[in-house]
């Protein structure tokens, strides 16, 4: 498909109550997904709200809607956000677009693009045939699918992903043969590390890459950095280690950033005590459901057999397992010639001075099933930072503590743990500073 | 005779078991489910009671529910009708509206009634007897109920040490009643006066609780705490809303309140016109600049200080008016009953400031049921049935408030083994424990203290407590900020040996079993010369909500207080409930470890096992 020739008609919501921060991110989503068609973007809004949107976005040259849609158009609806009713794409424009034979999509508050009342097209369903496990999985834009080591996750609509669901566009074998001055930073973690509410260029890993390269240029160092995002939804440290061994062994990243904590803290409280106590293994409790499906044992209760979930393991016991596994990960990385950065991801409890919009997003997107165990995580993070004893060589980047210095003028969280673009900017800065101080400034590669 | 009393359906579900007039066990459901104010069917509390008595449900003679559900619904219908009529009385437009509703929207049900009916159907409140029968697999004939305030009356009197007493019950509302005066003699309770909705002390206080930004049925004691920082500048305005009757009753002016059909807020536009803008929940509260975040500008800080003083003054005014109302009711009840013995129950009986005045100024011999709210009605319902229906001999009063889950040594060992903590000490005797823990407290540690059976009622009384050194001026801030994560204006209460109580607090301890001070239900002034000695438990107005401890009432706790005295010279400890903000008091060793883990408590004491919070990861 020649995207440069596509006409893209963007339609604003019919009511002017959507916060401007959300509209900006949605427009950024349009620009990102249709970057090649930038010359052919048109913006329209219903007459009643036209003056409002024109004053907010004078640079967009917003026209009046409704108008006739054409069959060769791609109509993109910016979703509205209501405090009480939640998100909605305004159906009337979308339905007219469909009737006219146009392709209709909507953009969510995170900038994610999804089809509007149509199936995902083959070009939109990335990597469906990339390997047998993709082929064996349902052809769906979101979900966890079977893979022998961990699981495979797919989340479409936020930009390019590779065949394992990671937001990586580089070819790794090529990177493995890189020059001596070309350094690779591999970042691991769960969905927060994947940056689910950030477009590709807004991810902390992309920003970190820019910052490191800018720093090296500033310092007249002949170093070039590539930062890769191996984050995957739901990952605990055990999954991160598996990913490292599967994808990074030959790559030999120079630095590994383990940006995690929340998934281990929550899932660690929920999983079978015998597995945790005897083996220090933390796993995602929903994988017990996979076991029930596979072995037809739905009559045997899972560890969490009623809602809301209840902690069956004590916080400190969970932390001991988490710390042990993370030390193991560090050991594996070092044995493969890399350096390790211990990151503690932030959660919403550390951003208490928040804007009304952020409070509204939190209220709307909170997971009630996890609430009783999620309530313990703040205390667990506190114990971790008070009790963790690392050797001097390992930088500890406490992104959670850093969050508390920011007030309501930064829209940090879209839910309990996933950051909005402002939050990823903070992460990039923190990791850039830590890497610069711990490795670049110490002349690690001279 | 084995009688199981239940309260559930609205807030604070509980179960209590009476066997031949003796309270064998009582438990509040929230302690087991870890859901604060859990209102659901008290399955786990019932299981606990049966387990304590080593019986099964089949052994139960009668199950008694704490209120008359259908009479309650009748009140809801009546209240809706009254409210609709009041709306339609608004002149021509009002009558037109009524006509519109009647003719055009025939059978239109008022929104409040519609939503309540829907809720009642959903939660099976119309057939409580049937629900209990189904849940417990027990014959319907074995299930009965008593009226709400009869439960309160029974809870207040039959568990008291008095053979003859005036009884006053005061709450939000039961079926229709909001307050009752009665006389108790032996096994009989004779009602003398009842006040009905819309006139309600409980709802009056709750309306101001909501206005001050706190949660109703949870934040009332925060209003008491806030009141100490203010002056009753709005006394006249608030007092205008109350009329005290000569017969002991009272009336509340209704223009400011929505007590009949409270869909959203319990106060009206008229209330806002008189008292201004409501305080935002979680708004900063401070009476001095040093309590505020440093990054606030001077203008912002002044604004917070000014609004804090305003709301504190309002809290003080409401509190003073409420105290007067309570004193008025009790004075009348005492006169009617011709005795100075007074028993209190109903949520308003938890107003410890009022209770303190009743003791000091009124000279009453006061007994307050420790779980004076609806949870206590589980005991009340059982007690009412025992005496008034089954005509059994007068039951024993409270021997002890420690009616809840016992502490099992094997359970402690197992919980500690799985906790992840590895610095564990086991003391070989209670004496060694007292000395060891007193040493930790004297060194500035904050201790989680779990001993014996859990307390009945909302106060921690040395069975599920957080303890700290009251002589350290910083301790109040430390515990509020680091441990309980509460608002800084919240005070902490002292536990003191009974022998030393009058040296530190301005009251004469009544060592009669059942005195409110055993249950931390009365506030008294700290003696002027002692305020600087025990600053961490002296509230802003120089008062404290005192718990007295004797070697008979709680030997382990008493020994600890004595051991602390040997080190710091005062037989007093800061005693607050062992829970974090928003959660119920801990119950089991596992609960205690979990809360200990994520709080800033330094040591956890489970029986004779002492766990240090210091770990290395």
Note the pLDDT tens digit of each residue in B138-152: 999 999 999 999 999
Q: What is the pLDDT of residues A258-272, one digit of tens each?
A: 999 999 999 999 999
Chain B positions in Cβ-Cβ contact with residue A318 (cut-off 8 Å): 420
How many angstroms separate the CA of residue A344 from the nearest CA in chain B? 14
Q: For residue B191, name the pLDDT band (cuts at 50, 70, 90).
A: very high
Chain A interface includes B598 (CB < 8 A): yes
CB A14 within 8 A of CB A80: yes
Query: Residue ranges of the alpha helices (H) in A41-187?
Result: 50-56, 91-99, 132-136, 172-176
Task: Quote the percentage of chain B above a pLDDT of 90.
Answer: 82
Q: What is the pLDDT of residues A15-37, one digit of tens each?
A: 888 899 999 999 999 999 998 87
Q: What is the pLDDT of residues B525-544, one digit of tens each?
A: 999 999 999 999 999 999 99
CB atoms near residue A303 (< 10 Å): 16
Chain B positions in Cβ-Cβ contact with residue A323 (cut-off 8 Å): 617
Which of A313, A376, A389 is closest, CB to CB, to B616? A389
Mean pLDDT confidence for A432-439: 95
Lowest mean pLDDT segment, chosen from A334-343, A351-360, A377-386, B257-266: B257-266
Dihedrals φ, ψ of A396, to 5°? -110, 115
ipTM above 0.90, yes or no: no
pLDDT of A84 reads 58
Residues A130 and A125: their CA atoms lie apart, in Å, by 11
Here the tokens at position B248 are 């002991």
Task: Quote the percentage of chain A above a pLDDT of 90.
Answer: 75
- Cα–Cα nearest to A110, from A422, A433, A426: A422
Q: How many CA atoms within 13 Å lie on the side-chain side of A261?
A: 27
Report how far apart, in Å, the C-alpha atoms of A425 and of each of A166, A202, A403 are.
20, 8, 11
Task: Quote the percentage of chain A above a pLDDT of 70.
Answer: 97
Residues A63 and A240: their CA atoms lie apart, in Å, by 48
Residues A294 and A36: their CA atoms lie apart, in Å, by 44
Rounded to 5°, the CA angle A254-A259-A264 comes to 130
Here the tokens at position B217 are 């049925």
Q: Tell me if A315 and B598 make a contact (CB, 8 A cut-off).
A: yes
pLDDT of A1 reads 47
pLDDT of A36 reads 81
Q: What is the pLDDT of residues A91-125, one digit of tens each?
A: 788 888 888 999 999 999 999 999 999 999 988 99
Chain A interface includes B274 (CB < 8 A): no
Residues B182 and B184: their CA atoms lie apart, in Å, by 7
Residues B8 and B14: their CA atoms lie apart, in Å, by 7
> Residue A228's beta-bridge partner residues?
A186
Q: For residue B434, name the pLDDT band (cuts at 50, 70, 90).
A: very high
Lowest mean pLDDT segment, chosen from A235-244, B307-316, B508-517: B508-517
Burial A160-177 (b: 16+ CB within 10 A, else e): ebbbbbbbbeeeeeebee
B137: exposed, middle or buried (Cβ count in 10 Å: 0-12, 13-18, 19+): exposed
Burial A268-287 (b: 16+ CB within 10 A, else e): bbbbbeeebbeebbbbbbeb
Find which of B36, B283, B300, B420 to mutate to test the A interface (most A CBs within 10 Å of its CB).
B420
Q: For residue B590, name the pLDDT band (cuts at 50, 70, 90).
A: very high
CB A112 within 8 A of CB A134: no
Residues B14 and A144: their CA atoms lie apart, in Å, by 43
pLDDT of A89 reads 62
Residues B259 and B203: their CA atoms lie apart, in Å, by 7
Chain A residue closest to B602 (CA)?
Answer: A383
Find which of A314, A320, A326 to mutate to test the B interface (most B CBs within 10 Å of its CB).
A314
Report how far apart, in Å, the C-alpha atoms of B465 and of each of A74, B449, B454 are.
65, 5, 10
């Amino acid at each position: 498909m020649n995207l440069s020739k596509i006409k893209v008609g963007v339609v604003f919501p019919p009511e002017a109550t959507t916060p401007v921060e959300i509209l900006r991110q949605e427009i950024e989503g349009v620009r990102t997904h249709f970057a090649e068609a930038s010359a052919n973007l048109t913006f329209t809004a219903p007459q009643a709200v036209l003056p409002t949107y024109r004053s907010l976005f004078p640079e967009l040259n917003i026209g009046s809607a409704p108008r006739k849609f054409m069959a060769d158009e791609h109509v993109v609806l910016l979703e509205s956000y209501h405090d009480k009713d939640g998100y909605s794409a305004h159906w009337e424009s979308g339905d007219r677009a469909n009737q006219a034979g146009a392709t209709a999509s909507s953009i969510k508050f995170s900038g994610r693009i999804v089809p509007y009342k149509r199936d995902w097209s083959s070009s939109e369903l990335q990597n469906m045939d990339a390997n047998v496990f993709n082929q064996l999985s349902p052809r769906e834009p979101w979900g966890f699918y079977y893979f022998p080591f961990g699981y495979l996750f797919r989340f479409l609509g936020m930009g390019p992903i590779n065949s394992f669901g990671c937001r990586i566009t580089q070819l790794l074998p090529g990177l493995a043969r890189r020059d001596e001055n070309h350094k690779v930073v591999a970042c691991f973690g769960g969905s927060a590390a994947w940056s689910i509410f950030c477009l590709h260029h807004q991810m902390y890993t992309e920003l970190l890459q820019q910052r490191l390269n800018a720093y090296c240029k500033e310092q007249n160092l002949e170093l070039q950095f590539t930062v890769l995002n191996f984050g995957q939804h739901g990952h605990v440290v055990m999954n991160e280690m598996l990913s490292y061994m599967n994808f990074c062994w030959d790559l030999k990243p120079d630095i590994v950033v383990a940006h995690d904590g929340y998934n281990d803290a929550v899932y660690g409280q929920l999983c079978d005590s015998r597995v945790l106590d005897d083996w220090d293994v933390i796993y995602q409790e929903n994988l017990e459901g996979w076991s029930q499906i596979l072995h037809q044992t739905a009559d045997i209760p899972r560890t969490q057999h009623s809602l809301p979930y209840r902690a069956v393991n004590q916080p400190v016991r969970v932390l001991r397992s988490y710390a042990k596994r993370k030390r193991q990960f560090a050991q594996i990385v070092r044995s493969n010639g890399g350096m390790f950065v211990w990151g503690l991801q932030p959660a919403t409890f550390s951003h208490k001075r928040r804007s009304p919009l952020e409070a509204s997003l939190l209220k709307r997107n909170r997971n009630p099933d996890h609430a009783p165990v999620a309530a313990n995580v703040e205390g667990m993070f506190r114990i971790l930072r008070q009790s963790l004893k690392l050797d001097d060589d390992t930088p500890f980047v406490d992104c959670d503590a850093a969050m508390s210095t920011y007030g309501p003028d930064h829209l940090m969280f879209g839910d309990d743990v996933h950051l909005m673009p402002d939050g990823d900017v903070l992460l990039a800065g923190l990791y850039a500073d830590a890497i610069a101080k711990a490795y670049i400034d110490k002349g690690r590669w001279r | 005779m084995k009688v199981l009393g239940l309260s559930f359906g609205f807030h604070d579900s509980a179960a209590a078991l009476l066997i031949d007039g003796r309270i064998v066990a009582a438990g509040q459901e929230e302690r087991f489910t870890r859901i604060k104010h859990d209102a659901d069917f008290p399955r786990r509390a019932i299981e606990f009671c049966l387990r304590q008595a080593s019986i099964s449900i089949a052994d139960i003679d009668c199950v008694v529910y704490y209120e008359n559900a259908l009479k309650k619904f009748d009140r809801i219908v009546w209240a809706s009708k009254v409210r609709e009529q009041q709306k339609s009385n608004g002149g021509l437009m009002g009558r037109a509206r009524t006509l519109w509703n009647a003719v055009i929207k025939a059978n239109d049900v008022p929104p409040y009634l519609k939503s309540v009916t829907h809720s009642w159907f959903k939660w099976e409140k119309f057939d409580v007897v049937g629900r209990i029968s189904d849940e417990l697999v027990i014959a319907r004939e074995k299930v009965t109920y008593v009226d709400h305030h009869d439960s309160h009356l029974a809870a207040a009197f039959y568990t008291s040490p008095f053979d003859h007493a005036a009884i006053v019950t005061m709450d939000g509302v039961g079926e229709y009643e909001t307050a009752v005066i009665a006389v108790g003699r032996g096994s009989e309770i004779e009602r003398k006066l009842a006040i009905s909705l819309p006139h309600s002390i409980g709802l009056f206080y709750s309306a101001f609780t909501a206005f001050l930004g706190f949660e109703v049925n949870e934040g009332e004691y925060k209003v008491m705490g806030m009141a100490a920082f203010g002056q009753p500048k709005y006394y006249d305005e608030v007092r205008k809303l109350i009329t005290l009757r000569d017969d002991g009753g009272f009336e509340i002016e209704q223009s400011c309140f929505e007590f009949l059909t409270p869909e959203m807020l319990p106060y009206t536009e008229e209330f806002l016109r008189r008292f201004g803008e409501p305080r935002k929940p979680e708004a900063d509260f401070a009476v001095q600049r040093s309590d505020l975040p440093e990054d606030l500008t001077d203008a912002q800080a002044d604004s917070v200080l000014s609004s804090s003083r305003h709301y504190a003054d309002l809290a003080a005014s409401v509190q003073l008016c409420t105290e007067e109302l309570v004193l008025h009711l009790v004075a009348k009840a005492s006169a009617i009953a011709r005795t100075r013995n007074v028993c209190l129950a109903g949520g308003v009986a938890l107003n410890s400031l009022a209770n303190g005045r009743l003791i000091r100024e009124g000279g009453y011999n006061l007994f307050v049921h420790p779980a004076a709210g609806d949870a206590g009605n589980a005991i009340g319902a059982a007690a009412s049935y025992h005496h008034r229906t089954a005509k059994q001999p007068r039951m024993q009063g409270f021997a002890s408030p420690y009616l809840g889950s016992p502490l099992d040594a094997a359970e402690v060992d197992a919980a500690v083994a799985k906790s992840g903590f590895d610095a564990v000490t086991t003391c070989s005797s209670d004496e060694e424990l007292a000395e060891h823990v007193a040493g930790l407290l004297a060194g500035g540690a904050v201790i989680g203290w779990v001993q014996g059976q859990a307390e009945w009622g909302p106060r921690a009384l040395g069975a599920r407590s957080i303890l700290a050194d009251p002589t350290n001026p910083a301790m109040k801030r430390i515990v509020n900020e680091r441990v309980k994560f509460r608002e800084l204006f919240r005070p902490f209460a002292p536990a003191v040996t009974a022998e030393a109580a009058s040296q530190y607090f301005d009251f004469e301890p009544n060592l009669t079993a059942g005195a409110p001070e055993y249950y931390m239900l009365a506030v008294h002034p700290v003696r002027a010369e002692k305020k600087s000695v025990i600053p961490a438990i002296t509230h802003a107005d120089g008062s404290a909500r005192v718990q007295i401890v004797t070697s008979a009432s709680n030997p382990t706790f008493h020994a600890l207080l004595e051991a602390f005295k040997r080190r710091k010279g005062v037989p007093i400890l800061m005693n607050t409930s062992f829970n974090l903000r928003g959660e119920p008091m801990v119950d089991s060793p596992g609960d205690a470890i979990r809360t200990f883990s994520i709080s800033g408590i330094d040591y956890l004491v489970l029986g004779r096992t002492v766990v240090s919070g210091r770990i290395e990861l």
